A and B are shown apart, each in its own frame.
Chain A
């Protein structure tokens, strides 16, 4: 059952929370840090330890509603609960919160109300579970041939069987409803308010669409086991995948009607169904959900003139519909800037989720607002969450009297060796003793290339200590790295830079060798070198490199990519999307960008610069 329910502001203030089990608020903090701050809220569910967490936003009030429940229980009613709770809560306390913005609102009776809500939702769920059970013998065909059937009054049987089926019908609709909602939160409410879009309004034109939708269903009292199974959506845990199919089916059904969006028709229909559902708790539940979903409608409709002026001054609320075209545009814009397509999609979804329901200020266009929040989101993603001060790390290693090791990995021809030598140059500038381990034992000329670099760097600086550790070609790179590190320990080198052979991310044997190198030597930093030119490929490269490091390591706590160097950054003008793709995929910072051919062309990335380039028209 539900373990924990919490209502918090985006500022971090917990307005109300209730624990039903041993769950602490720590999974909530994890949720906020791992998902919400990282702009990954286009996902629906977050699993942490033994808990599954679902959440929903109320953006106009800056609230987050969070429900925590055990992972092992695939609770299906959580979405309904969140939705109903959030709408009821904002109906009831919304004004108060807005008036006392930043303050601590008093929440009288919410505990009781929530308890009632939870009860009805749980009852509803329990009921649906009951109907899912196999039919009793009394309901089977076999029973009707028995003696007992003849004795029993025929009316009774009808009465018991019919409501059960209705219940199922009802339940299915509710499930559909909540699925649609979870796919696009609050859509129902917005539509309900939409004085602008009469076609989508639940009142107008809903009558015939409803009737025709009903004709599509031909199960009055007769449901075969197969039918029941195919119609039973209740225990589908994998929401994302399964959901899509159901949505398609359902929209087909909806189109049987006029043109009305099925979502809307469904909502109204469930309201109607009350009349012949004789179960009390269910009735109550439907009332609650229907009321809370439509509660805001009359207010908006009555103030037509006011809304006209509001539109004039630009003070309007953003809905999923108004955002959609702008988000599509934004997504295309990002893709044009070379951001990987699915990342652009995720990001836009996440930003849109954070915007729906917000009210715009005076004379502010939606577009400008979207751009602004996109800017914040981009800044958030690109700002490193760990220290990028490599020199400080090296100083730490020096204090521990051990060499600091950095491995450079990446696909072929991205500039691993070149940027390794640039890094070496920078380290030499800071009077560190550098050893380069030539672990590219594969490509001809790789060792010689490094030797030239070492010679050049030695010539550039007066007392520079830079050496090359090499064992020729064809040897096992992991053992060469091992030897290099132990030799560095003896000779007193501060930093060991390990150059590896470039490899394609799909090359199994080579990826395995890389994982071995990492596992054997446990370097301090694993730096992925990637081209800024890369587009959709960036995601694939990074995920596969990370997966290889994880899968082939055989360790309990496998290593992952710790940072990235983005090379050829001078060649891409303002198409800096790769920077975003890479940081979003790994969550790790971009340590440096390579901006040219000489040793000095290694720079720190400036987040504001990248964000500005990404958003430039």
Chain B
């Protein structure tokens, strides 16, 4: 104790603080380093593992079939999914594996897509080309949810709209599908931004897609949205593979 007080007397008075304050400062310092480490670690891990490609869409669009075609190169018979399918696939030699997740399309399970959004690198939205006229609104609503998602907006996650089932006679061309969806989203962004607030949320969290005062167009979005025709029935999915490979490289 005597030595310490001796030491103190040598030190300039500005530096002098109480003993317990040293402890407090030390503790705070340790805590800070820990937090920095933790944040670094978690962020780092997230950034590195962001190689997930999501396959979404309405039920019966052919998501699971496409998933198995890409990952196992096999045409399979499917029923409505209850759980997501996951697989790691190497599309181009020498590139790291891509984590593919096929998300169930049923409305009740749709919340799952928002759970995967934080790790998503790209999104493939599968559309049943033959069912577009009766599903326009459902499609647009789901697509709106994806496009206006916080992560899609912030990280400009590219979206591929894969118009499946082109082998059917009644299938729509991708241009028609695009105009149909644009028209519907145009209406939706009016109604969605006017919707009531959710419980204990601060202000409206919805973002406005495209530019105000101009009809909605996919070109106005900050993230890349591409349309592509494909047919899982005829195993014509090379376009999707190429897109995924380029989007995740």
Residues of A within 8 A of B (CB): 6, 8-14, 17, 25, 28-29, 32-33, 36-38, 62, 64, 102-104, 379-381, 383-387, 389, 391-392, 395, 426, 429-430, 569, 592-593, 595, 602-607, 609
- Bound-state CA distance A26–B233 (Å) is 18
Chain B residues contacting A602 (CB-CB under 8 Å) are: 196
- Among B70-122, those with CB < 8 Å from A are 71-72, 74, 76-87, 102, 104, 106-111
- Inter-subunit contact B82/A37 (CB<8 Å): yes
- Inter-subunit contact A12/B196 (CB<8 Å): no
What 7 A-B pairs are tightest by C-beta distance, nearest first?
A12-B81, A391-B191, A11-B85, A385-B107, A10-B83, A14-B77, A32-B80
Q: Check: B202 CB closer than 8 A to any chain A CB.
A: no
User: What distance in Å separates the Cβ of B92 from its nearest Cβ neighbour in chain A?
Assistant: 21
- Inter-subunit contact A604/B198 (CB<8 Å): yes
- Inter-subunit contact B138/A605 (CB<8 Å): no
- Inter-subunit contact B111/A12 (CB<8 Å): no
- Inter-subunit contact B78/A13 (CB<8 Å): yes
A-B contact pairs, 30 of them (CB 8 A): A9-B85, A10-B81, A12-B64, A12-B83, A13-B78, A13-B85, A14-B79, A28-B79, A33-B59, A33-B106, A37-B106, A102-B86, A104-B76, A379-B111, A385-B106, A385-B107, A385-B108, A386-B107, A389-B191, A389-B192, A391-B190, A391-B195, A426-B196, A569-B199, A595-B199, A603-B198, A604-B195, A606-B199, A609-B199, A609-B200
Chain B residues contacting A395 (CB-CB under 8 Å) are: 187, 190-191
- Inter-subunit contact B72/A381 (CB<8 Å): no
Q: Check: B3 CB closer than 8 A to any chain A CB.
A: no
Chain B residues contacting A102 (CB-CB under 8 Å) are: 71, 85-87
- Bound-state CA distance A379–B108 (Å) is 8
- Inter-subunit contact A392/B137 (CB<8 Å): yes
Chain A residues contacting B192 (CB-CB under 8 Å) are: 389
- Which A residue's beta carbon lies closest to that of B82? A10
Most buried by B among A25, A37, A395: A37
- Which B residue's beta carbon lies closest to that of A66? B79
Residues of B within 8 A of A (CB): 59, 64, 68, 71-72, 74, 76-87, 102, 104, 106-111, 137-138, 141, 187-188, 190-192, 194-201
Given A103-B72, A381-B108: A12 and B137 interface contact (C-beta under 8 Å)? no
B74 interface neighbour in A6, A17, A104, Cβ under 8 Å: A104
- Inter-subunit contact A383/B107 (CB<8 Å): yes
- Inter-subunit contact A392/B197 (CB<8 Å): no
Chain B residues contacting A103 (CB-CB under 8 Å) are: 72, 87
Chain B residues contacting A25 (CB-CB under 8 Å) are: 77, 79
- Bound-state CA distance A80–B59 (Å) is 32
Chain A binding surface, main DSSP class: mixed
Given A11-B64, A12-B80, A12-B85: A603 and B111 interface contact (C-beta under 8 Å)? no
- Bound-state CA distance A69–B71 (Å) is 34
User: What distance in Å separates the Cβ of B108 from its nearest Cβ neighbour in chain A?
Assistant: 5
- Bound-state CA distance A38–B201 (Å) is 28
Interface contacts beyond A12-B79, A385-B107, A604-B196: sample of 20 additional A-B pairs, CB < 8 Å, sorted by A: A11-B64, A11-B85, A12-B64, A13-B76, A13-B85, A29-B79, A29-B80, A37-B82, A37-B108, A62-B83, A64-B82, A103-B87, A379-B111, A383-B107, A392-B137, A395-B187, A429-B194, A569-B199, A604-B197, A607-B111
- Bound-state CA distance A380–B104 (Å) is 12
- Inter-subunit contact A604/B74 (CB<8 Å): no
- Inter-subunit contact A603/B108 (CB<8 Å): no
User: What distance in Å separates the Cβ of A579 from its nearest Cβ neighbour in chain B?
Assistant: 11
- Bound-state CA distance A14–B198 (Å) is 39
- Bound-state CA distance A569–B80 (Å) is 35
Chain B residues contacting A569 (CB-CB under 8 Å) are: 199
- Which A residue's beta carbon lies closest to that of B67? A11
Most buried by A among B59, B86, B109, B196: B196
- Bound-state CA distance A82–B85 (Å) is 25
User: What distance in Å separates the Cβ of A575 from its nearest Cβ neighbour in chain B?
Assistant: 15
Chain B residues contacting A605 (CB-CB under 8 Å) are: 198-199
- Inter-subunit contact B194/A391 (CB<8 Å): yes
- Bound-state CA distance A395–B195 (Å) is 13
- Inter-subunit contact A606/B84 (CB<8 Å): no
User: What distance in Å separates the Cβ of B218 from its nearest Cβ neighbour in chain A?
Assistant: 19
- Bound-state CA distance A240–B192 (Å) is 46
- Inter-subunit contact A37/B109 (CB<8 Å): yes
- Inter-subunit contact B194/A430 (CB<8 Å): yes
Chain A residues contacting B188 (CB-CB under 8 Å) are: 389, 392
User: What distance in Å separates the Cβ of A283 from its nearest Cβ neighbour in chain B?
Assistant: 36
- Inter-subunit contact A387/B78 (CB<8 Å): no
- Bound-state CA distance A12–B55 (Å) is 14
- Which A residue's beta carbon lies closest to that of B144? A389
User: What distance in Å separates the Cβ of A517 from its nearest Cβ neighbour in chain B?
Assistant: 27
- Bound-state CA distance A379–B68 (Å) is 27
- Inter-subunit contact B196/A603 (CB<8 Å): yes
User: What distance in Å separates the Cβ of B95 from its nearest Cβ neighbour in chain A?
Assistant: 20
- Bound-state CA distance A38–B80 (Å) is 13
